[in-house]
Amino acid sequence: MALSLVARLVGKFKGGIMRSTREKWIDGVALALTILYQFLFGKPVTFWQGAEPFVWLLCAIALVHATKATCEVWHEISTQPTIREVESPILLPNATRSKKQILVPRLPYFRQTLAGALLLSLAILSLFCYVAHRAARASIRTTIYLAASAELIECQSRAFFVEMNGPQIRRNVEIALKDNKSGQMYIQTYPEIDPGPRSTDIHFLFVPSSPWDEDYTVTVVTSESRSSQRLIVRSVQNQPQFAMEISTDNEREPALRCRDALLPESYNVAAGEHRPCSELMKLAEDAPSKLDAFNYQRADGALTVRRMKSLPSPSELDQQSDDRHITEYQHQIIEPVLRKYSRSHILVYFAGGKNSKKYAEEFAKMFNTLKWVVKGPTMAPKGDERIIDIQLSANYAENWNKFNPKPHDILNAFSNAGVKQRSTLALDPNVPSDCVVLWVGPRSPSAIKSDQCLAPEMKPVEGQGHACEMISQAAGVCRFPPK
């Protein structure tokens, strides 16, 4: 009985869709209006975003026809007679057939069955709409995140590339990177980031506080959304291992997660995730070339030199140094320290050419004005012709046995004033007692620091390497990755 009722209901539903030209027109016009809206105003960027309105429309049409079919079957059953006459198959003596009335019961529980069928149809159609809505939202979800390089650039910096997962443009993007171990922050803003293949120019370098055992929090704020990314970078068994988890303000579940298998369980980022980070952290093939790095350190500690660092000729360096002067601000920082040690002796050397000599003369004049006994500037000894920037030398024995603070104070004053110089004192036993030697060379290129050169010497030995004849290929000490 129930099967025949469902069959009647299905038959009414199928007949209702194609019943009349008027209903066909109504369905067709609704479909045409939906297409027109999507074309003029919707502008979908993914398949599911474009398909969602049509799924809703078809479900609405199906629900209308299902409701009409249910009402029609309900009405037919409710209004059909419950008693009908039936002729007897046996003939009477007068050759007629007798008639009798029999009871025709209605289908049992037809009201409950029809109501249940309609509710089931509503639930199924609602499920289709929900799935289409979720698929549309997932297809347009756009997440901006940082992908870290698997190498340490110049043994110091980690490169972070701005990546995007999703089809939508994001505007007024602010990315804040925090080193969770040191608290150091780096903030970068972009007016707009487009989806799809992006230029690898969208990157920056950051110096981690604990290379190869790094923990970061990345906050991305745009005009449309806000997200937070937790990122782990570690060397494990001489391999780079990552873990990443991204959450957004309007989603309960993480938008993106990945975790490499070798990462120790002590890191709880993306715990339980089996998806490796090779896909999300994969960089474009031309990414290393965009970094313009001379060398980089791999997770096993090996240093790979991409191209050798070398200095231009002394004359070329000197031509690039014509804009160096001691500014008024630098005078204000340096002069109070020099005034403490008036009557002290300083020897000024220069190398490179006339521009470096002018810069050396400015330093000599400043010291002389503050009552120092100044000798020079004179040409640097043979062997020290390749010195660069500002460097200070002190007597080895005097500096360590008596701990004279004077050269250290001058070095710190220069550093506070922003003078480009060697970061440490050059300790030379040939420096006269109670004397500081100031070396002035051409300005170094941005990729090279004077710390990458040998320190100048008062009496260089012929045949030995001196000053910047050779350049250290790493800007600092390369740390070994943790075991």
Domain boundaries, the chain: 2-81+105-140, 143-305, 314-452
d(CA 210, CA 182): 9
d(CA 303, CA 211): 14
- Nearest CA to 390 among 427, 352, 426, 420? 420
Alpha carbons within 13 A on the beta-carbon side of 260: 21
Q: Provide the pLDDT for residue 367.
A: 94
Q: Provide the pLDDT for residue 99.
A: 64
Sequence-separated (6 or more) residues with CB below 8 Å from residue 199: none
Q: Provide the pLDDT for residue 117.
A: 77
CA angle 69, 72, 75 (to 5 degrees): 150
- Nearest CA to 45 among 153, 169, 158? 169
Q: Which pair of structure tokens corresponds to residue 173?
A: 């993007």
Phi, psi of 113 (to 5 degrees): -65, -45
Cβ-count burial of 189 within 10 angstroms (0-12 exposed, 13-18 middle, 19+ buried)?
exposed
Phi, psi of 171 (to 5 degrees): -115, 155
d(CA 395, CA 407): 10
CA angle 313, 314, 315 (to 5 degrees): 90
Q: Provide the pLDDT for residue 289.
A: 64
d(CA 226, CA 288): 29
Strand partners, 272: none
DSSP character at residue 313 = -
**260 with 277: CB under 8 angstroms?**
yes
Each residue's pLDDT expressed in tens, for the chain with a length of 483 residues: 444 766 776 776 766 666 555 566 666 666 666 666 666 665 665 666 667 777 777 788 778 878 887 787 777 777 766 666 666 666 667 666 666 655 556 566 667 777 777 888 888 888 888 887 777 666 666 788 999 988 888 888 899 998 887 777 888 999 999 999 999 999 999 888 877 655 446 888 899 999 999 999 999 998 888 899 999 999 999 999 999 999 987 777 788 899 999 999 889 999 989 999 988 888 766 666 667 777 788 888 887 777 656 566 666 666 766 788 999 999 999 999 999 999 999 999 998 888 889 999 999 999 999 999 999 899 988 877 778 888 899 886 654 544 568 888 999 999 999 998 888 888 888 888 889 999 898 887 776 777 777 788 888 877 665 667 666 555 556 777 877
Q: Which pair of structure tokens corresponds to residue 67?
A: 């409701």
**158 with 203: CB under 8 angstroms?**
no
Q: Which residue has the tokens 């004049």?
A: 365
C-alpha 59: how far from its chain's center?
A: 40
Q: Which pair of structure tokens corresponds to residue 265?
A: 């369980």
Q: 18 vs 9, 21, 27, 32, CA distance in Å? A: 15, 8, 10, 18
CA angle 461, 462, 466 (to 5 degrees): 70
Sequence-separated (6 or more) residues with CB below 8 Å from residue 460: 381, 382, 383, 384, 466
d(CA 363, CA 441): 12
Q: Provide the pLDDT for residue 378.
A: 92
Altogether, the residues listed in the chain come to a count of 483
DSSP character at residue 421 = B
Whole-model pTM: value is 0.56
d(CA 479, CA 43): 52
Phi, psi of 176 (to 5 degrees): -115, 115
Work out the angle between the directed axes of helices 354-369 and 328-340 (0-180°, nearest 10): 50
**263 with 254: CB under 8 angstroms?**
no
**Cis link prior to 377 (omega < 30° from 0)?**
yes
d(CA 268, CA 259): 10
Q: Residue 115 in 3-state DSSP?
A: helix
d(CA 410, CA 387): 19
Q: Which pair of structure tokens corresponds to residue 269?
A: 């980022």
CB burial of 444-473 (b: ≥16 within 10 Å; e: otherwise) equals beeebbbebbbbbbbebeeeeebbbeebeb
d(CA 295, CA 292): 9
The DSSP element (H or E) to which 16 belongs, if any, is: helix 2-17
The DSSP element (H or E) to which 409 belongs, if any, is: helix 406-416
d(CA 353, CA 365): 18
